[in-house]
Amino acid sequence: MGGDEKNKNTDSKVITEFRIHGFSKPDYRSQFLEAINYCPLCGTELFFVHKTDFEYWSVEEEAHCPTCHIRTNKQSFSLQ
C-alpha cells in the first residue's frame, strides 16, 4: 500500500500551496496604497512632506492635497 501514502503527501502539499495563495491578496495592497496616496475628497495625488528631527531621531510624515489644502496622515517614525 505504498501508493496510498504517496497520494496523501501530494494532497497535503496542494493544500499548503492553496493557503499561501489565499493570504497574498495584491488587490488589498494596491487599494490601501491608493487610499493613502490620493486625496479622499478630490482624488488628487497627495504631496508628502517629511520633517526629520535629528535631536530626537524621529521623522514626521505629513500629506497635503494641493487642490483642497487639507492635511492628512500625520505620522511619526522613530529612527532608532
Beta-carbon neighbour count of residue 63 at 10 Å? 19
73 is a site residue for Zn ion (CB under 5 A): no
42 is a site residue for Zn ion (CB under 5 A): yes
Least distance to Zn ion, CB of residue 55, Å: 33
Return the H-helix or E-strand segment holding 73: strand 71-78
33 is a site residue for Zn ion (CB under 5 A): no
39 is a site residue for Zn ion (CB under 5 A): yes
DSSP labels, 38-69: B-TTT-PBPEEEEEEETTTTEEEEEEE-TTT-
Least distance to Zn ion, CB of residue 37, Å: 12
Q: For binding to Zn ion (CB under 5 A), which residues are involved? A: 39, 41-42, 44, 65, 67-68
